[in-house]
Amino acid sequence: MEMLEIRNMHKSFGPTIALNDVSFSAQSGEVLGLIGENGSGKSTATSIYAGMQTCSSGEMFFKGEPWHPVSMNDALKRGVGMIVQENGTVPGISAAENIFLGETQEYVSGLFVNRKKMNRDAQAALDAIGAGHIRAEMMTGMLDFQDRKLLEIARVMAKDPEVLVVDETTTALSQKGRDIIYGIMNTMRKEGKTVIFISHDLDEIMEKCDRLTVLRDGKIIRTFEHEEFEEGAIKAAMIGRELQGSYYRDDYDGEVSSEVVLAAEHLNHTDQLSDFSFELHAGEILGIGGLSHCGMHTLGKVLFGNEKAESGSFTVHGRQIRNEAEAMKEGIGYVAKDRDTESLCLEASIKDNIAIAGLDKIAVHNAFILPSRENSYVDAQIKNLRIKCNDRNQYVSTLSGGNKQKAAFGKWTGRDSSILILDCPTRGVDIGVKQAMYQLMYRMKQEGKSIILISEEMTELIGMSDRLLVMKDGKLQKELFRSRQLSEADVIEYMI
């Protein structure tokens, strides 16, 4: 049975044509993959179907009937749910209130909200997807990025949808979270339901999907049947050309200078850092890996002076760093994992976001900002990273997910930082841009700059690092050196 269909859909945002005559369908019992470069229209098409926004023209069908959801909640009630690419939870309320957002009135009798029952139902929803470690009464703002995503999944799954859209969610999750999603997808397929799965990870999408539809510049390029899945052909359909050059760096005998640029000594912080010491060298790409709660994300924040360690210290070029301002002065740049709340100001333009970190580079005699200099500085970053936008004045909130990530990256690479702390820097970016980011990182290394690459992608860590620190429970578990023989299994062994 045809579960969903989109016919001749168009969508424009001012001068941007996000969708240009898009038609596709998905069957019951099918996982349909959607793939395409950043800004190609994947989130727009699916979010229209899930009731988040309306299209300029076109038709939609759900189980053969015309489909006109008026809101996301309306769509969800009627069987279509979506896990959005961006943050889909509200911070100032409890996990339970997020799960029942928009329907808390069902728990009101007279003047009272029956919190006990609401918490009980919410906990059942969390337990049902295997996220019982999140307590229903917790404030959402206390949860980290991964747990907020799991909360969103619990919220959608509690409604038992017949169509589920998973928009670029897995890259935000560690293996445990991914396994939860994969489990849900399998069950839905077996029950004759439908999943639309959006991802930039080609291996993942080829493994998990039954068919694959490729979008480019708002147009459907081609749908691949399962037996037609072939990496080269899919990539070519996505980017309209062959990818040249290698993906990760391909050297294995590169020298790293003995000069220490950053030294951390005995860092302790909550349960996230436990007597953690290490050194970073000039011209080194230092990978940091582990499970999502191993402390590596906190380490990034501490090294940028964003969070203060309870004890221990670290120095950069021999000088102690106590806060963000000092970190920036010593040439540290930081791309946070949670870009929307920590790296970017969404309700400001690309120009303001990128220029702010580079003001000292743009200013003349440290004082005057020449608009023309500022503009050309920003335009250079837009061009280098191929940020898809109308112009530098476009608000970051209106960029596609991957293009937001590029803006967060551009903030610091443009500034010529001598030490870059990158926490999951390639999350949500398409393969073409990913390759460009890796090349940029390698170029920086060759210029003698240093990079701390915190990542949950094993292949990226192994592919790019000179040295790899594996963390577990806030401690340094193992130090591994770059080698052709290093495999994912070698690293995972020390993570768990």
Ligand X SMILES: Nc1ncnc2c1ncn2[C@@H]1O[C@H](COP(=O)(O)OP(=O)(O)OP(=O)(O)O)[C@@H](O)[C@H]1O
- Residues of this chain that interact with Mg ion (CB under 5 A) are 43, 85, 400-401
- From CA 222, how far away is CA 24, in angstroms rounded? 10
Torsion sign (Cα): 191, 195, 199, 203:
positive
Interacting span for ligand X (CB under 6 A) from 36-44, 98-106, 237-245, 346-354: 36-44
Q: Name the residue number minimizing CB distance to Mg ion.
A: 43
Closest CA to 457 of 199, 212, 232: 199
Judged by CB under 6 A, the residue of 119, 199, 353, 400 near ligand X is 400
The answer to whether the CB of 266 falls within 8 A of the CB of 275 is yes
Which of 9, 18, 153, 303: binder of ligand X (CB under 6 A)?
Answer: 18
Binding marks (x or -) toward ligand X, 351..390, rule CB under 6 A?
A: -------------------------------------x--
Residue 33 engages ligand X in binding (rule: CB under 6 A): no
339 binds, among ligand X, Mg ion, none (CB under 5 to 8 A by kind): none
Residue 300 interacts with, from Mg ion, ligand X, none (CB under 5-8 Å by kind)? none
Determine the residue with CB nearest ligand X: 402
Nearer to ligand X, 404 or 415 (CB): 404
Q: Which stretch binds ligand X (CB under 6 A): 12-20, 156-164, 241-249, 265-273?
A: 12-20
Q: Which does 81 bind (CB under 5 to 8 A by kind): Mg ion, ligand X, none?
A: none
Identify any residues that bridge with 479 across adjacent strands, giving them in sequence order. Answer: 469
Instruction: From 37-45, 55-63, 175-183, 203-211, give the range in contact with ligand X by CB under 6 A.
Output: 37-45
From 241, 89, 214, 213, select the one nearest 151 (Cα to Cα). Answer: 89
Out of 398, 463, 477, 492, the only residue in the binding site for ligand X (CB under 6 A) is 398
- Looking at the Cβ atoms of 99 and 163, the one nearer to ligand X is 163
- 215 vs 441, beta carbon nearer Mg ion: 215
Residue 407 partner contact from Mg ion, ligand X, none using kind-dependent CB cut-offs of 5 to 8 Å = none
Binding of ligand X by 94 (CB under 6 A): no
* Minimum distance from residue 90 beta carbon to ligand X (Å): 20
- Would you say 408 and 440 are in contact if contact means Cβ atoms under 8 Å apart? no
The residues, ordered by sequence, that sit 6+ positions from 405 with a Cβ below 8 Å of its Cβ are 339, 425, 426, 427, 428, 429
Q: How many residues make contact with ligand X (CB under 6 A)? A: 20
Residue 39 or 88: which CB sits closer to ligand X? 39
Binder among 3, 4, 31, 42 for ligand X (CB under 6 A): 42
Stretch that binds ligand X, among 34-42, 143-151, 186-194, 338-346 (CB under 6 A): 34-42
13 binds, among ligand X, Mg ion, none (CB under 5 to 8 A by kind): ligand X
Nearer to ligand X, 123 or 403 (CB): 403
Per CB under 6 A, contacts with ligand X among 43-82 are 43-44
- Does residue 403 touch ligand X according to CB under 6 A? yes
6 binds, among ligand X, Mg ion, none (CB under 5 to 8 A by kind): none
Report the residue number, 404 or 445, with the smaller CB distance to Mg ion.
404
Of the residues 8, 13, 228, 252, which one makes contact with ligand X according to CB under 6 A: 13
Binding pattern to ligand X, positions 143-182, x when CB under 6 A?
-------------------------x--------------
Which of 45, 95 has the CB closer to ligand X? 45
Q: Is 41 in the site for ligand X (CB under 6 A)?
A: yes
217: nearest Cα among 347, 385, 400 = 400
**CB neighbours of residue 355 within 10 Å:** 23
User: β-strand 419-423 against 450-454: which pairing, if any?
Assistant: parallel
Interface with ligand X by CB under 6 A: which residues? 13, 16, 18, 36, 38-44, 85, 168, 388, 398-403
